[in-house]
Structure 1
Amino acid sequence: MKSVLVLLGVLLPLISSGQSGLTDKGLFFPKPSNNSYVSLTPQKPLNLEAFTLCMRLSVDPAVVDKKDRETILFAYRTQYYDELNVWQEKGKISLYMSSSEGAFYAVPLLSIFRTNLTLTWESSTGLTAFWVDGRRSTLQVYRKNHKVQSGGVVILGQDPDSFIGSFDINQSFVGEISDVNMWDSVLTGDQIRNFNEKVWVGPEPNVLNWNTTKYKVHGNVIEVPKKYK
């Protein structure tokens, strides 16, 4: 018995320090907070000149739709900069990359029902677009010749104003996030629409893969089991 207890004492800190893979699971953020978030470990450094980022999200409209509220959808921060942030704000979906000037899209906003949201960007042209449930927005040119820098952390649920800290309860995500996948290239429209239908025939996500990524839960975040998917 003593040896079993010793083994548990070794294993439990390892288990609580992080887990791998969220296949068929979601992450539910039940209420606003300034300490509840999930950190994801990328499969490769986010040293990017192009990317496709896909997520499935639903929100609590009673919180997120409040006038003038900003809600963070995805955050990647290095020590000094918000390298890549996606927001719902001012009645639009927006993208910021190491700049106080964002790209704003008047696309259908998130709701209580699950939305498939995809963002594409490439440095060489600056061409950027959002896809909502398989439908593409008009293109914009944003941050041409820019490069996303490595050495940061991916955060779901909060916007870090310092390196993994300084969270604002009024910007926190309230709702459910799942299937966060990222590639270091711009996928084709057919591939994105296939992701929308959960019939995947494209390349495996090589930056963030929801099925295999290492993650750590902080605060009040509920892992939603497969039966609710």
Structure 2
Amino acid sequence: SWYCGTILFYCISLVFNQIEPVRRTLVFTEETNNSYVELLPQKNLSMQAFTLCMQLATELASDEREIILFAYRTVDFDELNVWREADSTYILYLQGSYDGVSFHLPELNTFETNLCVTWESKSGLTAFHVDGKRSVRKMYKQGNIVQPGGRVILGQDPDSLLGSFNINQCFVGEIRDVNMWDYVLSDSMIGALHGGKLFPKGNIFDWETVKLQVNGIVQILWD
């Protein structure tokens, strides 16, 4: 009957709506000085605020070693970099500064960690979020503006626009769900993202649609 058919369609829809979308995972399998992935932004990286989120898994954090997690470089500066430093702190650097803002966070490991960084120019307030939980907020680079015209890469730290890589700073492991907004998401929204709710989509990088350029030994898996 019409009623039974409607109920069946509704049940089938519920089942399919529970299926997670297939997502890309970048796998950096070994230490190199030439393997990286460039992300092509959906709009200009001229920003007075941002939220950057990504899923990471690596075993390098068990060593006393620098690990580049995200790099945006212009011709003149490392404009926006996120590092896991050799002393186990996690640091955001803006506009070529050597005095980044550091945080003591739970270490990355072989299981996926959801890591987000937020910053806002007007107040200078900066924070890291690990698996939906926010760190203390610190003040950093109040009044600064992230400058456009650079290149965003994962896997290496460029000391020139797209080169001068150091094998001892590269990333080894898996990265996916790299999303970026040109505003600060609320704590509740970042918690919802960690819980699997993908709203709102990143307007700088949306992992579902962002174009990637792969260089060197990097595998792309569809999970």
How does the TM-score come out when normalised to structure 1?
0.86
Q: Give the 3-state SS of the residue equivalent to 1:118 in structure 2.
A: strand
Q: Tell me by how many angstroms 1:23 deviates.
A: 5.6
Which residues of 2 match residues 72-221 of structure 1 at below 5 A? 72-89=68-85, 90-98=87-95, 99-200=97-198, 202-221=199-218
User: Distance in 2 between the 1:198 and 1:35 partners?
Assistant: 33
Question: What RMSD in Å do the two structures reach over aligned CA positions?
Answer: 1.2
Query: What's 1:38 paired with?
Result: 37
CA drift of 1:110 comes to 0.6
The percent of aligned pairs where both chains have the same amino acid is 50
Displacement, 1:169? 0.2
Distance (Å, rounded) in 2 between the aligned partners of 1:214 and 1:25 = 11
Q: Which sections of structure 1, spanning at least 5 residues, go unmatched?
A: 1-21
Q: Give unmatched runs, 5+ long, in structure 2.
A: 1-20
Q: Secondary structure at the match of 1:125?
A: coil
Q: Distance in 2 between matches of 1:178 and 1:214?
A: 13
* Amino acid corresponding to residue 78 of structure 2 in structure 1: D
Q: CA separation in 2, counterparts of 1:93 and 1:147?
A: 21
Equivalents in 2 of 1:192, 1:32: separation in Å?
Answer: 31
- TM-score, normalising length from structure 2? 0.88
Amino acid at match of 2:168: N
Q: Aligned to 1:192, what secondary structure does the other structure show?
A: helix
Deviations 1:147-192 (A, max 9, x none): 0000000000000000100000000000000000000000111110
For 2:150 and 2:196, the matched residues in 1 are separated by 29
2:22–2:222 contact (8 Å) kept in structure 1 = no
Q: How many residues align?
A: 201
Of the two, which has the highest radius of gyration?
Answer: 2
